[in-house]
């Protein structure tokens, strides 16, 4: 698994959005929340650092943590749809997948959509685009969910971050240890590069 997504992959799947528009900025994103053990910590850190981020939320987690979900919005962060049950598109029938997206859409309407695992088939892609969704991918993946990944490696790989990158972290129990140890340092490195943090739109 690459920290930086190869340019060839971005070219092959060009109906998806891989990079932000502003070359003087990066776009910090979090998948899989809201989660009661990690999201409050993330919100506190972002407030302290004066950073806005985009949270791709699972519908079931929104239902389970409604006040936490409201806190994300109250803090001025953007929300994206991440399906209702974190379905992998390539293993899920098109109707089931779109129903999952719509179920989450009913809880909060957003143009932004990120496929769990980054996996979708071309029929799902076409349908979501026809629904007006922007399919948001990433160019730099912290891989904070991997138990085999040392947080020091994540921090070291932050040196390759550049303008327009969409950064992927996770606010979930599985990723908690690596995310909490690496995110503050990654933010520091991005700021040292004099890059801004922007919301996806």
Is 170 in the active site?
Answer: yes
**HEC per residue, the chain:** CCCECCHHHHHHCCCCECECCCCCEEEEEEECCCCCCCHHHHHHHHHHHCCCCEEEECHHHHHHCHHHHHHHHHCCCEEEECCCCCCCHHHCCHHHHHHHHHHHHCCCCCCEECCHHHCCCHHHHHHHHHCCCEEECCCEECCCCCCCCCHHHHHHHHHHCCCCEEEEEECCCCCHHHHHHHHHHHHHHHHHCCCEECCCC
Phi, psi values for residue 168, rounded to 5° = -110, 115
- Cβ distance 179 to 171 under 8 Å? yes
Which of 77, 82, 151, 170 is catalytic? The answer is: 170
Which of 31, 32, 144, 165 is catalytic? The answer is: 31
Nearest of 164, 186, 178 to residue 23 by alpha carbon = 164
Active-site residue list = 31, 170
């Amino acid at each position: 698994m690459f920290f930086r997504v190869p340019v060839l992959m971005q070219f092959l799947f060009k109906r998806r959005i891989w990079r932000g528009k502003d070359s003087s900025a990066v776009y910090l994103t979090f998948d899989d929340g809201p989660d009661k053990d990690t999201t409050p910590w993330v919100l506190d850190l972002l407030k302290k650092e004066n950073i806005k981020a985009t949270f791709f939320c699972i519908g079931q987690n929104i239902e389970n943590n409604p006040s936490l979900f409201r806190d994300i919005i109250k803090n001025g962060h953007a929300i994206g749809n991440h399906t209702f049950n974190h379905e992998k598109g390539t293993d899920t029938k098109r109707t089931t997948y779109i129903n999952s997206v719509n179920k989450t859409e009913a809880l909060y309407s957003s143009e932004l959509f990120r496929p769990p695992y980054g996996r979708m088939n071309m029929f799902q892609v076409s349908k979501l685009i026809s629904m007006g969704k922007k399919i948001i991918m990433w160019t730099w993946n912290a891989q904070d969910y991997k138990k085999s990944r040392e947080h020091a490696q994540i921090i070291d790989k932050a040196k390759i971050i550049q303008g327009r990158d969409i950064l992927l972290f996770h606010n979930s129990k599985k990723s908690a240890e690596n995310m909490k140890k690496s995110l503050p340092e990654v933010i520091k490195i991005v700021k040292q590069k004099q890059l801004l943090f922007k919301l996806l739109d």
